[in-house]
Amino acid sequence: MLSRTAENLYWLARYVERAEYLARTIDATLRVTALPAAYIGKTNEWDSALLTAGVSASFYEVYQEANEQNVVEYLSFAPGNPSSIRNCIENARLNSRSVRTALTSEMWDTINSAWIELQEVWGKGTASREELAKFLRFVQETSLRFDGSAYRTMLRNDAYWFSRLGLHLERADNTARILDVKYHVLLPQEEHVGGPLDYYQWNSILRSVSANTAYHWVYRETLKPWLIADLLILNDTLPRSLASCYGNLVRNLDQIGVAYGRQGASQRHARGVRNRLEHSHMDDIFQHGVHEFIQEFIADNGRLGEIITKQYLI
């Protein structure tokens, strides 16, 4: 297939995944900030929403203060924010248009309908919390529909695998970022361990990766920081965990390698990251520092993106 087609499929999946993640982040932040101050402490949750989205610096070039109105506007609609939800959907549509021949009609319909709704219903943003809730649901449902239609209708060939690579790479990045911003509330040695403050912070982390129910099914325990970290980093039964993302990345890259009859740098690199995750234990990770571990992971994940691009997409 054309390299440019593969590149568009890869980025299309990334944009859709990113839009959903942003919607989840806003949703989780709204919940936690609605709590009385005694439950969440003095940290500015909107600031940490910006950090997990990786747009803090560009935000402060435009705004003075990170409050609900400004951050929601910036993350959802701001034309000046290249990874706002609006721009993600716009870019997803542009990528879809470029690779229409490689998409199934169901996938095209999902993106095109979302783009139409974005303009017709959400063209002026949201005027109330009710509207915002509706908007966030719309974004999450778009992502579910897109993912589902890709899964159910695409031929299992390189087009499908490149699209999945984009999805899992973006997903791993998002989960890692949330961990990176919140790692300090997961540290057992922090002073107010177990207080209500941490409890709601933890819950908010799980919610932003849609894992709050999964946690209880997996551990059958009250929320504990090291278990949360274990779930999000090492548990490969959780679709948004780093381990699960890398299991999928390795599988998809292998499928491409088999189809093309050739393995390369991206297969090797992905396998390396996966092996490290497989052989890690939470104890060691805490011992060596969660922050360092996550930082290293984010860098490795970014490098995989570069290697894939070099090997296949240009």
Partner 1 sequence: MAVAFDEMNGSGGELRQAYQELSRWLKETPPDTLEYRRQEAELLFRRIGITFAVYGEAEAQERLIPFDVIPRIMSGKEWTLLEKGLKQRVRALNMFLRDIYHGRDILRANIIPEDLIFQNPVFRPEMNGQDVPHDVYVHIAGIDIIRTDAENFIVLEDNARTPSGVSYMLENREIMMRLFPDLFARHRVAPVEKYPDELLSALRSVAPLSASAEPTVALMTPGVYNSAYYEHSFLADKLGIELVEGRDLVIKNDEVFMRTTEGLKRVDVIYRRVDDDFLDPLTFRPDSALGVPGLMSAYAAGNVTLANAVGTGIADDKAIYSYMPEVVKFYLGEEPILKNVQTWRCREPQDLAYVLDNLGDLVVKEVHGSGGYGMLIGPAATKATIEAFRDKLKREPEGFIAQPTLALSTCPTCTASGLAPRHVDLRPFVLTGSNHVTIVPGGLTRVALKEGSLVVNSSQGGGTKDTWILDE
Measured distance CA(262)–CA(6) in Å, rounded: 17
For residue 152, state whether it binds partner 1 (rule: CB under 8 A). no
**C-alpha distances in Å from residue 232, one per residue of 13, 117, 205, 215, 303:** 21, 33, 10, 10, 21
For residue 153, state whether it binds partner 1 (rule: CB under 8 A). no
For residue 270, state whether it binds partner 1 (rule: CB under 8 A). no
Measured distance CA(20)–CA(143) in Å, rounded: 6
Residue 66 vs 102, nearer CB to partner 1: 102
For residue 121, state whether it binds partner 1 (rule: CB under 8 A). no
CB of 254 to partner 1, least distance (A): 15
Q: Any idea which residue has 């990770």 for tokens?
A: 285
CB of 160 to partner 1, least distance (A): 13
For residue 11, state whether it binds partner 1 (rule: CB under 8 A). no
Single residue of 260, 275, 289, 292 touching partner 1 by CB under 8 A:
260
Single residue of 77, 135, 162, 183 touching partner 1 by CB under 8 A:
162
Count of Cβ atoms closer than 10 Å to residue 97 Cβ: 14
For residue 217, state whether it binds partner 1 (rule: CB under 8 A). no
Tokens of 95: 């990528």
Single residue of 44, 70, 112, 203 touching partner 1 by CB under 8 A:
112
For residue 157, state whether it binds partner 1 (rule: CB under 8 A). no
Residue 6 vs 28, nearer CB to partner 1: 6
Measured distance CA(204)–CA(283) in Å, rounded: 23
HSE, side-chain direction, 13 A CA sphere, residue 52: 30
Sequence-ordered list of residues with C-beta below 8 angstroms from that of 36, at least 6 positions apart, any chain: none
Single residue of 70, 98, 255, 295 touching partner 1 by CB under 8 A:
98
For residue 258, state whether it binds partner 1 (rule: CB under 8 A). no
Q: State the DSSP string of 227-279.
A: HHHHHHHT-TTSTTSHHHHHHHHHHHHHHHHHHHT---HHHHHHHHHHHHHHT
Measured distance CA(210)–CA(46) in Å, rounded: 19
Listed ranges 108-116, 178-186, 209-217, 218-226: which one lies at the site for partner 1 (CB under 8 A): 108-116
For residue 97, state whether it binds partner 1 (rule: CB under 8 A). yes
CB of 122 to partner 1, least distance (A): 17
For residue 109, state whether it binds partner 1 (rule: CB under 8 A). yes
Residue 4 vs 291, nearer CB to partner 1: 4
**C-alpha distances in Å from residue 176, one per residue of 54, 98, 183, 264:** 11, 30, 10, 25
Q: Which of 43, 45, 25, 27 is nearest to 129 (CA)?
A: 27
Residue 8 vs 201, nearer CB to partner 1: 8
| Residues making up the chain, counted from first to last | 314
Binding site for partner 1 (CB under 8 A): 1-6, 94, 97-98, 100-101, 108-109, 112-113, 116, 158, 162, 256, 260, 312-314
